[in-house]
Amino acid sequence: MATMENEIKKRRTFAIISHPDAGKTTLTEKFLLYGGAIATAGMVKGKKSMKHAVSDWMEIEKQRGISVTSSVLQFEYDGRCINILDTPGHQDFSEDTYRTLMAADSAVMVIDGSKGVERQTIKLFKVCMMRHIPVFTFVNKMDREARNPFDLLEEIEQVLGINTYAMNWPIGSGRDFKGVYQREERKILQFTAADNGRHEVASEEVDLADSDRLEAMLGEDLYQTLADDVELLDGAGAEFDLDEVSAGRLSPVFFGSALTNFGVEPFLKDFLRMTSSPLARATADDIVDPFDKDFSAFVFKIQANMNKAHRDRIAFMRICSGKFEKGMEVLHVQGNRKMKLSQPQQMMAEERQIIDEAYAGDIIGVFDPGVFSIGDTVCAPSRKIRFEGIPTFAPEHFSLVSPMDTMKRKQFVKGMEQIAQEGAIQIFRPLGGGMEEVIVGVVGTLQFDVLVYRLKNEYGVDLRMQGLPYSHIRWIENEDLDPRTLQLSSDTRRIEDLKGNKLLLFTSPWNIDWALDHNDGLELAEFSRN
């Protein structure tokens, strides 16, 4: 009989992060194939004649062939229960992507072998570093022309500021891609492209010491390059240190090809071997151990209207300790009320399954009657705890938004507040202003399209939108400061959020420096924790 401790030890909860088109969705689907969670991989180009990726569910995602929201995918593999937090890779993703990383214990970073570290990867990586969680790197698309692997490792170290350790080493790329050298086993895993359309790829293990066979297999040039590379790696490279990996200071790097399935299973096995079961979580004044018998969880995502027929709201919770049982009474700490979490379910994209139990490390969705906010804590009534809040990250695009029909102001306010509660957008207003006209801030511009689409389809409101020239926002940290007393450049704007926090909108970093230089003691922050 499975004990609570054994069930928690089985859990692995991680997010997959990448720049658009690096192959994140393909890698996710191959993981699901190995776990038997899906039978065939979906296509992700968004054409009507093709299947949609299993992790894309919102209508607007299917129209564009991209992931807009973060999905939660659970499956079993090799005796472990795996929770993948699938984050949008599209450049127009939302703050939801950042928050999803707050619920993960580790991250898999997918990098395109021909492009290296890209802008979106950098932004997501910063959130991982903020939390000091382990980051594992999968350099993808080695079956296409790729950059020199030494250059790729150097770029990861210089741009992201993390040390790297190559777990395997590519032999050629593109048409010359012959496989990878597995450093620990000192074996070659040979790549042979399959022509039958199946997701399996033929491979063969060869010992590095078998020089005659290797030279016949690889050709003289590739064999010599491999021999030189291995000598350099073994001689000059850093030692592998799992403690450094766990602390988020060393990233194990794997090379492969998700589309052809080459190197995916060895990567998955090594990743699961090196990652830990659920990590402890900080509260306002303590640390909560995942093996604590008392149930606790926090809300990291709210999604409304996943089911059009029911106009529902689902709160996604990361379980931090203990065991959840259907029908159990919990305390909603922020609301200071006891309640039962209704319709507890786990998700496979839009497929939902009502569950009877779940454990620390798992992600569950529960029906939200409108009481939950991002960052809320729920726990066993016997132990009142409050987890540290989830940061509000700085949006980068801003627009002035109002309803075209002023008679629909009530629906406009309701829709804007509900979608803002989900965290896809942030709402600001002039100091002391109302909600007749609001400033909407988003991390990626696609969220403006999602906002227009959802306000019209879910609340019957057409929007008037006017783009604003601002690209930087800062929270004012000084509690007793009246923003109206600040000396600011003419194109800086004073605003507040719906919680009354005071902020400044800037058009450039120069304006930020100007404000700090001309106002002694002014403290500005890139994100808010309340």
Question: Which of 56, 53, 32, 33 minimizes the C-alpha distance to 44?
Answer: 53
Domain's final residue, options 379, 412, 444: 379
Which SS3 state, helix, strand or coil, does residue 35 take? coil
Q: Residues 323, 223: one domain?
A: no
Q: Residues 256, 170: one domain?
A: yes
What is residue 69's predicted lDDT score, i.e. its pLDDT? 42
User: Hunting for tokens 């079956």 — which residue is that?
Assistant: 143
Q: Residues 31, 129: one domain?
A: yes
| CATH number of the domain encompassing residue 374 | 2.40.30.10
Report the domain count for the chain. 3
Rg, C-alpha atoms of the chain? 25
Domain's final residue, options 248, 274, 300: 274
What is residue 200's predicted lDDT score, i.e. its pLDDT? 47
1 burial level (CB within 10 Å; 0-12, 13-18, 19+): exposed
Q: Residues 249, 293: one domain?
A: no
Residue at 83 is within a domain: no
Residue at 386 is within a domain: no
Domain's final residue, options 224, 251, 274: 274
Residue at 331 is within a domain: yes
Question: Which of 442, 438, 411 minimizes the C-alpha distance to 424?
Answer: 442
Residue at 81 is within a domain: no
Token duo for residue 383: 């132990």
Q: pTM surpassing 0.85?
A: no
Cβ atoms of 346 and 363 within 8 Å: the answer is yes
Cα separation of 15 and 7, whole Å?
20
Residue at 397 is within a domain: yes
Query: What is the block-wise mean pLDDT of the chain (530 residues), using blocks of 10 residues?
Result: 86 89 85 69 37 47 43 82 75 69 93 91 87 95 95 95 95 91 87 58 70 84 90 83 94 94 91 93 90 94 62 85 93 94 72 85 89 91 88 88 93 88 84 83 85 90 95 93 93 90 94 96 83
CA 223 to chain centre: 39
| CATH number of the domain encompassing residue 488 | 3.30.70.3280
Per-residue exposure over 357-379, b if at least 16 CB sit within 10 Å of its own CB, e if not: ebbbbbbbbbebeeebbbbbbbb
Token duo for residue 73: 């995918």
Q: How many CB atoms lie within 10 A of CB 197?
A: 5
Q: Residues 133, 203: one domain?
A: yes
Q: How many CB atoms lie within 10 A of CB 133?
A: 21
Q: Residues 254, 111: one domain?
A: yes
Q: What are phi and psi of 19, to 5 degrees?
A: -80, 160
Residue at 493 is within a domain: yes
Q: Residues 433, 500: one domain?
A: yes
The partner residues of 461 in beta bridges, in order of sequence, read none
| CATH number of the domain encompassing residue 182 | 3.40.50.300
What is residue 197's predicted lDDT score, i.e. its pLDDT? 46
Which SS3 state, helix, strand or coil, does residue 90 take? coil
Q: Residues 232, 312: one domain?
A: no
Q: Residues 303, 260: one domain?
A: no
Residue at 49 is within a domain: yes
Residue at 483 is within a domain: yes
Cα separation of 61 and 52, whole Å?
9
Q: Residues 231, 333: one domain?
A: no
Question: Which of 252, 266, 22, 20 minimizes the C-alpha distance to 156?
Answer: 252
Cα separation of 465 and 440, whole Å?
9
Domain that holds residue 198: 14-67+106-274
Which SS3 state, helix, strand or coil, does residue 404 take? coil
Q: Residues 206, 290: one domain?
A: no
Q: Residues 292, 257: one domain?
A: no
